[in-house]
Amino acid sequence: MNTTPAVLFVCTANLCRSPIAMGLFAQQAGKRDQGRVWRIESAGTWTVEGSSVPRNVQLAVEERSIDLRHHRARTVSRALLQSFDLVLVMTADQREALELEFPEVASNVHLLSEMAGYKYDVPDPINGSIKDVRMVAHEIALLLNSGFEWIAQQIVNRREQTTHLVAKTEQVLKVNTSQEW
């Protein structure tokens, strides 16, 4: 099993909230979890593949030392979702859409706000001003700051469950193959 913790942030177009969360979480992980490498990516539920981040979003996050100039939108897929320990979405509708389309990953999908002890949708400032984007980036930063330990613990819990299931499966296979027919 890969030991690199993996978190996927998901929003609608993968052009504002999820790339912002990805950049902010990378900063948090670098400060809090020195020495451990994280796999941190983003995707969208309804994207135009390859689209660039709007200028207002780029300018707002550059102030936080996040460079999204080379980010390109991509759509979630079954394979992508299955390759992550944890999927954090911005809205309840996104969570529902992923759970319906990809039920096998439903237990790994959570609202971003839930990790900080709340349950609300993070607003989409994509068509707003730089000030609007700054406000949402600040909100996401606060959620990530207070929820960092929750994220790390969710990954530990998931990996323990997976390890337990693998051990059980191996045990069952060993019993079945050792029996004479």
Q: pTM for the complete prediction?
A: 0.87
Query: Residue 98 domain-assigned?
Result: yes
Expressed as residue numbers, the domain containing 88 is: 6-178
Query: Residue 131 domain-assigned?
Result: yes
Query: Residue 1 domain-assigned?
Result: no
Handedness of CA 124, 130, 135, 136 (dihedral sign): positive
User: Domain total for the chain?
Assistant: 1
Query: Residue 35 domain-assigned?
Result: yes
Question: Averaged in consecutive runs of 10 residues, what is the pLDDT profile of the chain (181 residues)?
Answer: 86 98 94 82 97 96 96 98 97 98 97 96 96 98 94 82 55 61 49
pLDDT at 176: 62
pLDDT at 164: 46
* Residue at 74: amino acid letter: R
Query: Residue 114 domain-assigned?
Result: yes
SS3 per-residue string spanning 114-125: HHHCCCCCCCCC
pLDDT at 31: 87
170 burial via Cβ count (<10 Å: 0-12, 13-18, 19+): exposed
CATH number for 67: 3.40.50.2300
Contacts of 153 (CB under 8 A, 6+ apart): none
Query: Residue 162 domain-assigned?
Result: yes
Q: Which pair of structure tokens corresponds to residue 22? A: 């990805």
pLDDT at 25: 96
